[in-house]
């Protein structure tokens, strides 16, 4: 693993925590008086989802799903497979799917399609980062932290070669 490439910070830990608080307030207001089921997509969203749910003040359950997209490099192949499904029944529940980033949108599209078949009352999506330039579907996330151009980023749950998920800020490698 290349460790000595130069890092360029896009969002500091402080930028991130402010944004997550803001999202938490908006989501709490939107779901006031309701119960929420947050579905966190592993592994990328584990940090964002854990920060976000602590900023949400409506009654909330947490579920996890794992997806895999084969033919991996730095991007999805287009073939998204569900490796681990949620455990509990979401019939009639208000569901919020949380991911680290929306890139092509194929992962979120697949997950929403899958979860809709379980008859929730409502289903929305929330991502920390959105790269709309890369979209290969018509999907738009309902809640977005930061919109970014087409750059490969790491940190705050996002990986490069399975490293850097633990870095508390979001950065890119300058060539
Ligand atoms: P999508 O299905 O193309 O929207 O891709 C979603 C998944 O691709 C994310 O959950 C990430 O795991 C991965 N991904 C997309 N862009 C980046 C990036 O810039 N850095 C790290 N992972 C990324
Ligand atoms: Mg992912």
* Residue closest by Cα to atom 15 of ligand 1: 103
What tens digit of pLDDT does each residue of 47-102 get?
999 999 999 999 999 999 999 876 555 555 678 999 999 999 999 999 999 999 99
Q: What is the pTM of this model?
A: 0.95
Cα(12) to ligand 1 centroid in Å equals: 19
Question: Exactly one of 88, 103, 150, 162 is catalytic; which is it?
Answer: 103
* Residue closest by Cα to atom 19 of ligand 1: 152
What tens digit of pLDDT does each residue of 113-164 get?
999 999 999 999 999 999 999 999 999 999 999 999 999 999 999 999 989 9
What is the DSSP pairing of strand 122-130 with strand 143-147? parallel
Q: Which of 100, 137, 154 to mutate to test the pocket of ligand 1 (most atoms within 8 A of CB)?
A: 100
Cα(101) to ligand 1 centroid in Å equals: 6
Q: What is the Cα–Cα distance from 137 to 109, expressed in whole angstroms?
A: 8
Q: Is 103 marked active-site?
A: yes
Q: What is the Cα–Cα distance from 144 to 113, expressed in whole angstroms?
A: 20
Cis amide leading into 43 (omega within 30):
yes
The token duo for 51 is 């920060």
Instruction: Find where tokens 């929420």 sit.
Output: 36
What is the DSSP pairing of strand 153-154 with strand 94-102? unpaired
Nearest to 74 by CA among 174, 167, 153, 173: 153
Architecture of domain 12-65+88-174: 3-Layer(aba) Sandwich (3.40)
């Amino acid at each position: 693993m290349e460790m000595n490439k130069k890092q360029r910070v896009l969002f500091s830990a402080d930028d991130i925590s402010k944004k997550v608080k803001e999202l938490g307030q908006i989501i709490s207001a939107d779901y006031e008086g309701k119960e929420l089921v947050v579905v966190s997509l592993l592994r990328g969203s584990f940090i964002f989802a854990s920060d976000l749910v602590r900023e949400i003040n409506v009654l909330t359950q947490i579920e996890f799903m794992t997806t895999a997209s084969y033919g991996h490099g730095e991007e999805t192949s287009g073939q998204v497979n569900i490796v681990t499904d949620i455990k509990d029944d979401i019939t009639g529940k208000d569901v919020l799917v949380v991911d680290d980033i929306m890139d092509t949108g194929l992962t979120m599209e697949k997950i929403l399609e899958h979860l809709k078949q379980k008859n929730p009352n409502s289903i929305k999506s929330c991502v920390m980062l959105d790269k709309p330039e890369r979209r290969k579907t018509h999907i738009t996330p309902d809640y977005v932290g930061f919109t970014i151009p087409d750059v490969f980023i790491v940190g705050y749950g996002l990986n490069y070669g399975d490293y850097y998920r633990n870095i508390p800020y979001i950065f890119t490698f300058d060539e």
